[in-house]
Amino acid sequence: MRLMPALSDLEYGSLKSSIQEHGLHFPIVVNQDGVILDGHQRNKACRELGITPSVLVRQFENRLQEKKFIVEVNRSRRHLNEFQRIELQIKLESIESELAKERLSDPGKIGAER
């Protein structure tokens, strides 16, 4: 499932021009396995421009936490239309629901940690 809508050619061109003129403002975020979680388009633009991007490695408990991070970090930064925002909210609610199921499937785990 693709979590984020693709950039238009115009948006990508603008991003690439900005990186060329001003550098990379945000590092590419990868998980502990080196999989890009945030910054696919920035990484692509840097490769095309011959720029080595800065990379930030983030550790997550599980795949659902990674998905939640992807949606949350992009929801506030990307220029999304109303429909895209609603789609992201639905995805986020689904992720939260799955995380709640995981918490319920480990009864006593939280209490045992105290």
Please give the residue range of the domain that contains residue 16: 7-59
Same domain, 47 and 65: no
- Global pTM reads 0.70
Same domain, 38 and 77: no
Domain boundary among 59, 75, 94: 59
> Which secondary structure element, helix H or strand E, spans residue 57, and what is its range?
strand 55-57
- Report how far residue 100's alpha carbon sits from residue 87's, in angstroms, rounded to the nearest whole number: 20
Same domain, 12 and 28: yes
Given a cut of 50, the residues of the chain with pLDDT beneath it are 1, 114
Same domain, 67 and 96: yes
Same domain, 12 and 47: yes
Same domain, 21 and 55: yes
